Amino acid sequence: MRNSLCLALLLILSAIAFAAPEPQPAPLVIHELGKGSVELGGPWQFHLGDDPAFAAAALDDRTGQNGWEELKSDQSWGSQTHPGYIGVAWYRKHLHVSPATGLKPEFSLLLHDIDDAYELYWNGVLVGRNGKMPPHGKHYYDQPAQTFNLGEMHDGVLALRVWKQALSSFDSDQLGGFNATPVLGSPEVIAATKAEIDYEWLRGRQYHFAITTLYALVMVLSFLSWLRDRSQRVLLWMAVFCFGPVAAIFLYGLRLPFSWDFSVGWGQPVLALQDIGLWFLLLWLLELDENRWLTRITRGIAVVNLISASLDGSMSLLDWSNPAITAAVQLADAIFTAITTIAEFWPLVLLAYAARKRLDPARWAVAISAFLMEMILVVRVAATQGVRFTHWTLGQRINLPLFTVLGNAFTAATLAQTALLFSIIYAVYRNAREEHQRRTEMEQELKSASELQQVLIPESLPSISGYAVTSAYRPAQEVGGDFFQIISIERDGRNSSLIILGDVSGKGLRAAMSVSFIVGTARTLAERHSSPAEILSGINRGLQGRLRGGFATCLVVRLDGDGRCVLSNAGHCAPFLNEHEIQLPGVLPLGVVADARYEEHAIQLRTGDHLVLYTDGLLEARTNAGELFSFERLTRLMARHPNAEQALAEAQTFGQQDDITVLTVTRLAAGAESSTQFIAPPLAKLRAIA
């Protein structure tokens, strides 16, 4: 305040002293400079166009002469007398400087917020520049204040050659040149002034930096989580959506020395990616992906949007200052931007479709806040398109701060971004909790089922006199419904063996419990019955109403010591005798019809005869391409008289889908030693599978 008062007094005195008419415009008189700084306010001389002579100290730049006029130093030329002017223009200011006594006469100039690039001259000598002048002009997207050391100075003329790039679709016509008054002072004071300006900028961005860092974290975590489970597409699209603000802060928000062309050019596809991320995020969050038509259209619009944005961005590679192409480039920019702007309203359609759905509140919270965040941005960008023609202020008003905290402006967009972050955190927390609950329940069920299965799978099998038996069992991923038992029975002094083999439809604990019931019933019936058909009938009656719409196929075989073999079947795959399938009539499986009747078939096994029993896991092994093992391949396999392990291995290699059980029985010559081989994964491994 004191400095200003002194200056004012000095100015008045000087004005009186220099009352005589001057050929040059009145210089700004600065006395005792050194104790502070002074804004080089007041009118500056201004001239459109470019001429190197405009830098010279001795030039006649009186107002009204040779095209020179006066402009205010703190407003753009676009908002004063030259709206929409692009190209080069010159500013000049005459200075009469007396440094404060005792101080070295070295001074610095602080320039900030000048559109777009400039060169600084002191008395005709180039002192410094920011950006690059045409041809091939280049300027930076966002620059901190620049300081220039002017060295020793007393009197002279400051000249600035300023270049404004051709206007893009969102540029207002009120741009160009100065937006803030230059400041002159001692190097220390100017440095301090710059530090203060920079500090205010940084302070006002803290919240934005913090939020963007959290978005970067969400992006990385989502992407990594998606890599672990590719079916969770929501996570991928969340990562893509979060990429937008993170990339944007690098391009626009950190004052990195990227050229305007680079920042805006890359900003177009980045914004498109953010749009696309939102659309697919909404599609998956709101369970709209089941609607094929909607998904296809979204994909189509996404492709169009990305291509359009990329083309729009790539146009910044062109030299807009080349007058031959400026109009064409601006038209192309307008068209591409129109395409992307229209596409950006697609989320409204998605939300309309989803409005009727009943989804949990966490999903809606994420969907709505993502939608709001995006649409505020979209509407703001859309409203500024062609603003130099429409003069709409909506775009500016949307961006006005609603309130400020510690210098950080909170706009509607900031609030939406914050809301989104919180809703994501909430949704993830809820999802993790539900997932954990589900997993615990599932693990519990699997544990119970596998414990049950371990009880049911025989640890060893009894040998059958006169026969060599091999058996192999391999469960599929989940606990399945295969079962088999070999029970030795004695009737009327004769020893026989009952082989019971079957498959309960379905998987998991329920199937395992059904198996447990069947095995228990079969063993109990075997104590009193040796007829396979009666055993089947007994199990069938017991299963009525227990299988809840499912069924159990079952084959019961009685092997007598003299080679007689009696079979009874309920819907199970017929066994093979040597290379031929035993012809058995089709019968409904167990548990379907209460009064089902089962037939018995007797065959005589001779020495060397090879009987193979199996479950449908063998038959329905499938390759990744969907080709089934099928009966033909099975017939060819059986012709080779495989043992159980060989048969199972072949199916496993082909592509196991379900539990596989194979049992082979070979009639031995009289006197030969019977053997039983049982291959199954060890119980510990069964636990691991569960």
CA 287 to CA 370: how far, in whole Å? 16
Three-state secondary structure call for residue 615: coil
Q: Is 630 in the site for another protein (CB under 8 A)?
A: yes
Q: What sign does the CA torsion over 6, 11, 13, 14 have?
A: positive
**Nearest distance from C-beta of residue 547 to another protein, angstroms:** 8
135, 257, 586, 671: which one binds another protein (CB under 8 A):
586
588, 679, 683, 689: which one binds another protein (CB under 8 A):
588
Binding segment (CB under 8 A) for another protein, from list 18-26, 343-351, 409-417, 503-511: 503-511
Answer for the pair 465, 674: CB distance below 8 angstroms, yes or no.
Answer: yes
Answer for the pair 453, 504: CB distance below 8 angstroms, yes or no.
Answer: no
Residue with tokens 């914004």: 271
**Nearest distance from C-beta of residue 622 to another protein, angstroms:** 8
Answer for the pair 605, 624: CB distance below 8 angstroms, yes or no.
Answer: no
**Nearest distance from C-beta of residue 292 to another protein, angstroms:** 11
506, 532, 538, 542: which one binds another protein (CB under 8 A):
506
Cβ-proximal residues to 437 (8 Å cutoff; 6+ apart), any chain: none
Q: Is 575 in the site for another protein (CB under 8 A)?
A: no
* Residue 59 to residues 44, 65, 91, Cα–Cα distance (Å): 14, 11, 12
Q: Is 485 in the site for another protein (CB under 8 A)?
A: no
Answer for the pair 662, 613: CB distance below 8 angstroms, yes or no.
Answer: yes
398, 628, 679, 689: which one binds another protein (CB under 8 A):
628
Strands 43-48 and 482-491 come out as unpaired
Q: Is 475 in the site for another protein (CB under 8 A)?
A: no
H helical segments located in 18-133: none
**Nearest distance from C-beta of residue 532 to another protein, angstroms:** 17
CA 313 to CA 588: how far, in whole Å? 68
Answer for the pair 411, 403: CB distance below 8 angstroms, yes or no.
Answer: no
385, 553, 568, 664: which one binds another protein (CB under 8 A):
553
376, 587, 638, 686: which one binds another protein (CB under 8 A):
587
**Nearest distance from C-beta of residue 582 to another protein, angstroms:** 12
Q: Is 503 in the site for another protein (CB under 8 A)?
A: yes
CA 291 to CA 387: how far, in whole Å? 38
Q: Cβ closer to another protein: 333 or 616?
A: 616
CA 611 to CA 167: how far, in whole Å? 88
**Nearest distance from C-beta of residue 503 to another protein, angstroms:** 7
Q: Is 593 in the site for another protein (CB under 8 A)?
A: yes
CA 301 to CA 341: how far, in whole Å? 12
**Nearest distance from C-beta of residue 617 to another protein, angstroms:** 10
Run of H or E including 420 = helix 412-456
Q: Is 598 in the site for another protein (CB under 8 A)?
A: no
Tell me the site size for another protein, rule CB under 8 A: 27
240, 574, 637, 686: which one binds another protein (CB under 8 A):
574
Q: Is 667 in the site for another protein (CB under 8 A)?
A: no
Interaction site with another protein (CB under 8 A)? 481, 503, 505-506, 549-551, 553, 571-574, 586-589, 592-593, 616, 619-620, 622, 626, 628, 630-631, 658
